[in-house]
Structure 1
Amino acid sequence: MEERLIKAQVKTDVKELIERLPDEQKEVVKLRHYYDMSFKEISDITNVSINTALGRMRYALINLRKLVEETGVSLEM
C-alpha cells in the first residue's frame, strides 16, 4: 500500500516538473515518454530536424535535473 502511494506521488511530482519546462522541451518529453514516439516521429510532428528534437530532449533532461535539485523533490521509490 505504502509503495503504491509513493509511486503515485513520484508520478505526480514528475508531471509537475515537466509542466515547468519550456513548451518546446515539454512537448518532446511528452511525445517521447507518454506517447512512446521515436525521435523521427517527433521531428516529423514538430517540423524540426531529428537533431533539434534530440537537443530539446537533452536540454529538457538537464532542466529537469536542475528542477529536482531546486525543489528538493525525491524521485526515489
Structure 2
Amino acid sequence: MSVSEVIPIITSLSHTDKFRLMQVILTQLAKEDGVPLQAEPASQQDPLFDIIGIAEGEDSDVARRHDAYLYGAS
C-alpha cells in the first residue's frame, strides 16, 4: 500500500486513533533502529532545572516578580 493510499485512511481516523497510530509507528521505528523509548527525567531535559534552588537569602520580591525582572513586564 502506498502513502497516497494511506493518507485518506489516516485523515478519517479520530484524534485518539491518530495518536495511537503514531505510538505504533514510533515504537516500530525505535525497535527497528534499536533505540530505547524512555522519557528522560525533566531535570535532564532542561538545563535550567540545574539552577533551581541554588540561591539563598532573605525573602525578596524576586520570586513574586520574576517575570518583571526577566522580561521587563510590569
The TM-score by the shorter chain falls in which range? 0.3 to 0.5
Greater fraction helix: 1
Q: What is the TM-score normalised by the length of structure 2?
A: 0.33
Indicate the structure (1 or 2) with the bigger Cα radius of gyration. 2
